[in-house]
Amino acid sequence: MAYITNPKMVGSGLLACIPQKGRCPNNCKDCFFQSGRSYLEPLDENLPNMPSIKEAKTRIVRVNDGNDSNNDANLCILATEAYPFKFYNTSKVGSFSKFDAPVVLTINPGEMTDNGFYKLRAIPENLMFMRFRTNTWNLELLDKAVDFYTKQNRLSARNVPIVLTFMAYYGDEQVDNVNIPAIKRSDYIYRKRTSNNYWAITTHAWDYVMSLYRHNKWVYSCGKIEGEQGDTHCARCGNCVREYFVTMERMRVK
Confidence of residue 170 (pLDDT cuts 50, 70, 90): confident
Predicted confidence (pLDDT) per residue in 182-218, tens digit: 999 999 999 878 778 889 999 999 999 999 999 999 9
Confidence of residue 228 (pLDDT cuts 50, 70, 90): confident
Mean pLDDT of 97-111: 96
Specify the pLDDT at position 226: 87
pLDDT surpassing 90 at residue 34: no
Q: What are phi and psi of 158, to 5 degrees?
A: -70, -45
Confidence of residue 57 (pLDDT cuts 50, 70, 90): very high
Mean pLDDT of 151-161: 75
Specify the pLDDT at position 26: 87
Contacts of 43 (CB under 8 A, 6+ apart): 21, 22, 23
Mean pLDDT of 94-114: 95
Higher pLDDT, 154 or 248: 248
Kindly state the percentage of the chain with pLDDT values over 90. 73
SS3 breakdown of the chain: % helix, strand, coil, rounded to 5?
30, 20, 50
Q: 67 with 213: CB under 8 angstroms?
A: no
Specify the pLDDT at position 156: 64
Predicted confidence (pLDDT) per residue in 79-99, tens digit: 999 999 999 999 999 889 999
Specify the pLDDT at position 154: 52
Confidence of residue 177 (pLDDT cuts 50, 70, 90): low
CB atoms within 10 A of CB 197: 15
Strands 127-134 and 162-166, bridge-based pairing:
parallel
- Please give the C-alpha separations between residue 219 and each of 53, 79, 127, 222, 232, in angstroms, as whole numbers: 33, 32, 15, 10, 17
